[in-house]
Amino acid sequence: MSKKIIFILSFSIVFCSNLLANDGYKLWLQYDYIKNESLRQTYLSSIEKLVPSGNSETINVAFKELKTGLEGMLGSEFLSSPKKDVKNILTFGAKTNLPEDVILQLGNAFNEINNEGYIIKSYALRGKNHIVISGNSDVGVLYGVYNFLKLLQTNKSIEKLNIKESPKIKARILNHWDNLDRTVERGYSGFSIWDWHRLPDYLDPRYTDYARANASVGINGTVLNNVNANALILTPHYLEKVEALANVFRPYGIKVYLTARFSAPIEIGGLKTADPLDTDVINWWKEKASEIYKRIPDFGGFVVKANSEGQPGPQDYDRNHVDGANLLADAVAPFNGIVMWRAFVYSEHDATDRAKQAYPEFVPYDGQFKDNVMIQVKNGAIDFQPREPFHPMFGAMPKTPIMMEFQITQEYLGFSTHSVFLPTMYEETLQADTYQKGKGSIVAKDLDGTLHNKRLTGMAGVSNIGNDINWTGNTMLQANWFGYGRLAWDPYLSAESIADEWLKMTFTNDKKFIEPIKKMMLNSREAVVNYMTPLGLHHIMDTGHHYGPGPWVSDLSRPEWNPVYYHKADSLGVGFDRTPTGSNATEQYAPEVAKVYNDLNVISEKDLLWFHHVPWDYKLKNGKTLWDGMALKYQEGVDQVKTMIDTWDQMENYVDAERYNNIKMLLNIQYKEAKWWRDACLLYFQQYSKMPLPQGVEKPTQTLEYFQSLKFPFAPGN
Ligand code: GCV
């Protein structure tokens, strides 16, 4: 081959590799060829040989991942020509399998990490350079391997490494709201990835890639089925399929959990009752647990949605959540299983502000739950809104493990069409100060157990993935799966650092791409708040499917399902008074927090209408009336989406056409829908404010009647 041809070939590999078709299936594990030649050479010369220690399935997975990753990034030269005198060695294995001289080099490090933690260390010995990746378990090693690969993916130095990392939260779980018929409740990326019909014999390779992706960010558990549960999942026919999935996930350190339908003893057990204090019921659950553990010895446990939105529960028998949770906890305790009992409860028979209803059902029972129960609490007291103040239960149950439930799927945030980077939102809640043990009692500290010295810790994220080729429908939303995992591992990470990592691993290290797109991602959540629910407005989405605006909806059977319940707009003003003059929901917070929320002079305007009903001519901090300020916020949201489009339009040269167009088309839909939100909401509220739109706000494109006439009977995820 002539020199010229070789040059052209290598030029195209080097400069165009990220412009080749890319369907996004590989997520952030792209392992793209490193274009910076001197950096690639440095990496190549630092890793000449891979030496696994141990031969478990997990170590084999780690080995395979290292080979795939390094060959992808360093090219076929890597390991293609074994040299005689290898000087640079990468060893990986758990402490128990490492040679004594390697362990010696790691000194005390093993005591500084926990069972899932890892160490990455470089040292020189007897004329050779070593990098060792180790941990107290094989899974720790696997996490170390993924993080080592990330160093290369993000073009970091691998000289003089001395990294010790442990997850701060124990149960780092994805919740799938997937049904047995493969529909996904609130799922917008196709159908369920679990092909129940063809399981257990047909194991879709996607299951393995799912496990890889999760392990790469440290997720160690998956709840396979919807919290609106079907008892059939607990029958042998389905348990066999669950077992097959558990076998695929095990080498990746991922445990399988199931949701338990509280009435299962009746529905599939033939009992007359599901009363948690009934002996037959108690025995039924014990036997069911032992049947499951026989198949899946490391089964994680159960998640339960009880007495909420029509689901059965202990209150059907005049018992309480403690009785219900402890029943299941006792059943799984002999096998080290846990129960995640959800606090998302509210009742149409209770006229109390919905935001207040969970707290009294749980907080007074602090200390009464069994040791293996965690209470799973949504980030806010209503339901995964674009912005919610933190749930008052955080920090308020010192003796009960409280786990976070975030929603990764975008039920109330524009489905998978809107590019919203959610770690910004998660960070806001995790950093919120509960003041339950004085200043600095942030939510993250309740979750990692340090606030009240809790043994069990956990975080759950309601998955946004389906069988779409790129998993999340919108390539940008892969970042939310990634970011959730990173925060479950370390709830103190910044959204900014997560965006930075994800972008580099998924697209390119080129600053000209990273800087503007990172900025775009970090602003995207505020944009959606602005064009949907500015200034503390909430739950004004259209009915049932929650797609698009519906502030006018007032005819649903349950009062708290109607948007009018939440905004309370009238001729006098707008907003939900949750101060002592209203529902007094603020009393559920620590006094320091309640004081801030109650006081119009100090409350952040971001939360204004969540806690206060204020007149339309109320003066905002910028001197504008509430009406003008609200209208301008809606406009600002629309403008922010326009800026996102302009930014993305500049990026064509940095991204392959497939992913570029996927994001571009979806941004255009988002823009259309942002305008729809602005126009529909402003026209609706204007009926009450009776004020003109301020200068700077575009005229609505349609009438209110038009927007009210829109119907979406087949909106996805319903
Ligand atoms: C799984 C909201 C959603 C429901 C969901 C429920 C829950 O109400 O709209 O689809 O049900 O939350 O979290 O249990």
Say if residue 85's pLDDT is above 90.
no
Q: Which atom of ligand 1 is least distant from the CA of 226?
A: 1
Coil vs helix vs strand at 412: coil
Identify the band that residue 388 occupies on the pLDDT scale cut at 50, 70 and 90: very high
Q: Which atom of ligand 1 is least distant from the CA of 308?
A: 14
Say if residue 426's pLDDT is above 50.
yes
Q: DSSP secondary structure string, 367-399?
A: T-S-TTEEEEEESSSSSS-SS-PPPTTTTS-TT
The residue to mutate among 261, 304, 345, 383, having the most atoms of ligand 1 within 8 angstroms of its beta carbon, is: 383
Q: Which atom of ligand 1 is least distant from the CA of 311?
A: 14
Nearest of 313, 311, 293, 309 to residue 301 by alpha carbon: 293
Identify the band that residue 73 occupies on the pLDDT scale cut at 50, 70 and 90: very high
Cα 521 to middle of ligand 1, angstroms:
26
Strands 118-125 and 162-165, sheet pairing: antiparallel
Q: What angle do CA 681, 686, 692 make, to 5 degrees?
A: 120
The predicted structure's pLDDT at residue 83: 67
Cα 411 to middle of ligand 1, angstroms:
9
Protein residue closest via CA to atom 12 of ligand 1: 383
- Within 13 A of 680's CA, how many CA atoms are on the CB side? 25
The predicted structure's pLDDT at residue 5: 46
What is the average per-residue pLDDT within 551-576? 94
Nearest of 396, 407, 641 to residue 528 by alpha carbon: 641
**Rounded Cα–Cα distance for residues 328 and 323 (Å):** 9
Say if residue 183's pLDDT is above 50.
yes
Identify the band that residue 347 occupies on the pLDDT scale cut at 50, 70 and 90: confident
Q: Which atom of ligand 1 is least distant from the CA of 228?
A: 1
Number of alpha helices (DSSP H) and beta strands (DSSP E) in the chain: 23, 15
Cβ contacts of 8 within 8 Å, gap of 6 or more: none
The residue to mutate among 175, 176, 177, 341, having the most atoms of ligand 1 within 8 angstroms of its beta carbon, is: 177
**27, 478 contact by CB (below 8 A):** yes
Local structure of residue 554 (DSSP, 8 states) = -
**Rounded Cα–Cα distance for residues 133 and 54 (Å):** 13
Work out the widest C-alpha separation in the chain, in whole angstroms: 85
Cα 252 to middle of ligand 1, angstroms:
29
User: Which pTM value belongs to this model?
Assistant: 0.97
pLDDT above 70 covers a percentage of the chain that reads: 97
Q: Hey, how many other C-beta atoms are within 10 angstroms of the C-beta on 642?
A: 15
Nearest of 212, 63, 206, 70 to residue 138 by alpha carbon: 63
Cα 410 to middle of ligand 1, angstroms:
12
- Beta bridge partners of residue 163, listed in sequence order: 120
Say if residue 36's pLDDT is above 60.
yes
**Rounded Cα–Cα distance for residues 76 and 10 (Å):** 13
**Rounded Cα–Cα distance for residues 280 and 265 (Å):** 9
**618, 572 contact by CB (below 8 A):** no
* Amino acid, single-letter form, for residue 691: M
The residue to mutate among 176, 179, 184, 186, having the most atoms of ligand 1 within 8 angstroms of its beta carbon, is: 186
What is the average per-residue pLDDT within 301-312? 97
The predicted structure's pLDDT at residue 10: 45
Local structure of residue 90 (DSSP, 8 states) = E
Identify the band that residue 18 occupies on the pLDDT scale cut at 50, 70 and 90: low
Coil vs helix vs strand at 366: coil
Coil vs helix vs strand at 531: helix
Say if residue 80's pLDDT is above 80.
no
**Rounded Cα–Cα distance for residues 269 and 626 (Å):** 57
Say if residue 702's pLDDT is above 60.
yes
Nearest of 290, 407, 426, 296 to residue 344 by alpha carbon: 407
Cα 336 to middle of ligand 1, angstroms:
28
Q: Is 440 left (phi over 0), alpha (psi -120 to 50) or beta?
A: left
Nearest of 232, 221, 280, 219 to residue 260 by alpha carbon: 232
Cα 217 to middle of ligand 1, angstroms:
26
Protein residue closest via CA to atom 13 of ligand 1: 344
Cα 718 to middle of ligand 1, angstroms:
10
| Tokens encoding 375 | 């209470």
Nearest of 639, 642, 637, 643 to residue 677 by alpha carbon: 637
Sign of CA dihedral 204, 208, 214, 216: negative
Sign of CA dihedral 15, 19, 20, 22: positive
Cα 276 to middle of ligand 1, angstroms:
24
Q: Which atom of ligand 1 is least distant from the CA of 177?
A: 1
Sign of CA dihedral 140, 143, 148, 151: negative
Coil vs helix vs strand at 672: helix
Coil vs helix vs strand at 88: strand
**Rounded Cα–Cα distance for residues 140 and 93 (Å):** 9
Identify the band that residue 78 occupies on the pLDDT scale cut at 50, 70 and 90: confident
The residue to mutate among 344, 345, 354, having the most atoms of ligand 1 within 8 angstroms of its beta carbon, is: 344
* pLDDT tens sequence across 124-160: 999 999 999 999 999 999 999 999 999 999 999 999 9
Q: Please give the C-alpha separations between residue 199 and each of 122, 202, 274, in angstroms, as whole numbers.
A: 44, 5, 30
Residue of higher predicted confidence among 317 and 82:
317
- Beta bridge partners of residue 120, listed in sequence order: 133, 163
Say if residue 558's pLDDT is above 90.
no
Q: Please give the C-alpha separations between residue 525 and each of 179, 414, 466, 661, in angstroms, as whole numbers.
A: 29, 11, 22, 21
Helical ranges in 255-309 per DSSP H = 264-267, 279-295
The residue to mutate among 230, 309, 718, having the most atoms of ligand 1 within 8 angstroms of its beta carbon, is: 309
Q: What angle do CA 301, 406, 309 make, to 5 degrees?
A: 75
Identify the band that residue 11 occupies on the pLDDT scale cut at 50, 70 and 90: very low
Tokens 């989405």, residue located: 541
Active-site residue set: 309, 383, 411
Q: Please give the C-alpha separations between residue 473 and each of 23, 25, 465, 470, 662, in angstroms, as whole numbers.
A: 11, 10, 8, 6, 9
Say if residue 20's pLDDT is above 80.
no
What is the average per-residue pLDDT within 313-330? 98
- Within 13 A of 407's CA, how many CA atoms are on the CB side? 25
* pLDDT tens sequence across 189-216: 999 999 999 999 999 999 999 999 999 9
Coil vs helix vs strand at 134: strand
Segment among 8-22, 337-351, 358-372, 602-616 with least mean pLDDT: 8-22
Q: Is 696 left (phi over 0), alpha (psi -120 to 50) or beta?
A: left
Return the H-helix or E-strand segment holding 4.
helix 3-16
**213, 463 contact by CB (below 8 A):** no
The predicted structure's pLDDT at residue 283: 98
**Rounded Cα–Cα distance for residues 447 and 174 (Å):** 16
Protein residue closest via CA to atom 11 of ligand 1: 228
**Rounded Cα–Cα distance for residues 52 and 518 (Å):** 37
Cα 486 to middle of ligand 1, angstroms:
24
Cα 304 to middle of ligand 1, angstroms:
13
200 preceded by a cis bond (ω within 30 of 0) = yes
Residues in the ligand 1 pocket, defined by CB under 6 Å: 177, 185-186, 227-228, 305, 309, 344, 383, 411
| Tokens encoding 511 | 């600053």
**644, 706 contact by CB (below 8 A):** no
Helical ranges in 298-432 per DSSP H = 321-332, 358-362, 423-430
Q: DSSP secondary structure string, 555-603?
A: --SSGGGSHHHHH--BTTEES---STTTT-GGGGS-HHHHHHHH-TTTS
| Tokens encoding 697 | 């706000």
| Tokens encoding 448 | 């990692």
What is the average per-residue pLDDT within 41-64? 96
* Amino acid, single-letter form, for residue 17: S
Cα 32 to middle of ligand 1, angstroms:
39
**386, 413 contact by CB (below 8 A):** yes
**Rounded Cα–Cα distance for residues 663 and 661 (Å):** 5
Cα 461 to middle of ligand 1, angstroms:
13
Strands 301-304 and 373-378, sheet pairing: unpaired
